[in-house]
Structure 1
């Protein structure tokens, strides 16, 4: 079967491409564009989504968990991953669960919409748009490797994105050292 999924996000490729394969979680994985790419890189993948039909198209790729993570229990209690990927998804009550799912030495790669995106379409509700610096604040206990906030082209959108690592032996960088003026 030919893979017709869109290519992975440039941010995901940038911050995952240098990692040795291990266990990866793609939260709210949808059609699996990042899961497919990670699996091709040798990662053992776990995908979580509430869309059973989307997950059905990913069978055989790895572990697929059908779960409504906004209205049901967190399906990954106690599990940690070498890589946690989240794109185009925000549900604030889950931010701590997401960060807790990063294993020691593991990496979080997160990219989603921010305030200002309402000028370009959906999502437009503030519930689904990050406030300035919100992703940095949520990742304050991780070591930030990269952070960007602003408008992107093609398609036109406003995002925040972060790559952060859990390294319990290293203290996280202060925010001013990561994103001056941001």
Structure 2
């Protein structure tokens, strides 16, 4: 099931006139990108895991009546390779990041979004370590950290705290931001 944030901010994503795709960064099984694809938005699914990308491709192929496959592109990439700049020279109308944190990428993400484009970012905070996985502080946001990263953008939505997961079966400590890049 896709993030409830996408239901709420779909009009913001659809409102853009850019011909560029939305980047589903570290897409995993593609649940969020597939939702956007279903709404006829162009999506680039990016992940290091070839099996994950294969799963997304199979889903699109299997449900061809639901998804327009020509709107999907796939990018196998290691976002954490030392000294790499995977998003350099790339441009997107929006970047979505869910359940993933690699701090060196944040400035690259901001640079890859076109002016007036969006970032939709949701990941775990330090409080998650008390609730379950992940527990490694390298993968957990500090209090206020996500808002701070996008403080120079127009923040449309911000949440930080404990909530019930989108699947409804457990609690999670997360931070969410939806932010628009200045012109």
TM-score (ref. length: structure 1) = 0.83
Pairing partner for 2:50 from 40, 49, 52:
52
State which of 25, 43, 48 in structure 1 corresponds to 2:41. Answer: 43
1:19 corresponds to: 13
Give per-residue Cα distances to partners, 1:124-174, cap 9 Å, x unaligned: 111111001100111122111110000012321100000000122xxxxxx
Asked if the contact 2:161/2:175 (under 8 Å) is kept, the reply is yes
| 1:84 and 2:95 correspond | yes
Aligned-partner Cα distance in 2 for 1:141–1:18 = 19
CA deviation map 1:4-30 (0-9, x unaligned): xxx211122212344326521000000
Question: Structure 1 residue 29 and structure 2 residue 27: aligned?
Answer: yes
Aligned to 2:13, what secondary structure does the other structure show? coil
Task: Provide the rounded CA distance (Å) in 2 between the counterparts of 1:75 and 1:15.
Answer: 27
- 1:111 and 2:122 equivalent? yes
2:13–2:118 Cα contact (<8 Å) kept: no
Distance across 1 between alignment mates of 2:88 and 2:32: 22
Stretches of structure 1 lacking an aligned partner (at least 5 in a row): 1-6, 169-182
Q: Tell me what 2:132 maps to.
A: 121
Q: Is the 8 A contact 1:26 1:46 kept in 2?
A: yes
Aligned length: 162
Q: Distance in 1 between matches of 2:134 and 2:180?
A: 28
Aligned: 1:157 with 2:172:
yes
**TM-score, scaled relative to structure 2:** 0.83
Over 6 Å off, 4+ runs? none
Q: Which has the higher contact order (CA 8 A, sep 6+)?
A: 2
| Corresponding residue for residue 132 of structure 1 | 143
Which runs of 5 or more structure 2 residues have no equivalent in the other structure?
61-68
